[in-house]
Structure 1
Amino acid sequence: MTCHFYILPSSSMDKFNVGHSCDDLQDRIPWHLSNHRVFTSKAKDWELVYFEKYSDLKAAYARERQIKSWKSKQRKKEIIKLKNQLSSFRNTDTAGRVGGSPDTYRGQLPHQPQIPMRLFYFCGGI
């Protein structure tokens, strides 16, 4: 069973929803946007910007509790930004063309992102 930890921001509320689920994320997001009686029903602009896969519910829930314990919007923004930096790196080959494989790179990254150590630990390294 594949489970996920995810982060959904709402620009209208200037808040983040942090959660976990073993449901398909494509089904989970509409639930957050529907009329139900929880925190996310207060806004209709939640979007999936970050997720991590886990092999079981317990691990996904542990990650959710860890991120919620930060109580920091800035740290959540940092892991989203880091994911975006790594995604753009993985989609560029050694000549700077889009579509390259991360396996193309051996050794030093062409443009090493500055990764705060606390994020390096939480993301499991590069």
Structure 2
Amino acid sequence: MCYIAGFAPLARIHQRAALRAGSVLGYGLGLGWVLGQATGWQLPILAYALVLTGMGVAAALRQGSHLVFLGAVAFIISDSLLAINRFLLPLPLEHMLVMVTYYLAQGLISSGILSDHAERPTP
């Protein structure tokens, strides 16, 4: 939710951003549907899928470095792997895959934000 709060104020809608956001939204709806069916439509799981999707959409619409969006995608992949492993089927090397995509996500998001701040002129 903190990422949503940080990304949303910089959201700008244009064709490429809308396509990215639509792709994330479609994936999020699909993930929510699959997880909902697998878990008996448990509200906390659906709420988390909604927040994760919202973070991805906010990152897709965010003006600035594309590294932030790539990081958000890596974050979505990381949490999707966790959910798949927990609720659908065991994944080989799940822990390693989750941690690699999670740290990649945090690094890309941080790098993108730092890059945006470095490019701003100082007052």
- Whether TM-score is above 0.5 comes out as no
For normalisation by structure 1, the TM-score amounts to 0.30
For normalisation by structure 2, the TM-score amounts to 0.31
Q: Which has the higher helix share?
A: 2
Q: Which has the higher strand share?
A: 1
Higher relative contact order structure (alpha carbons within 8 Å, sequence separation ≥ 6): 2
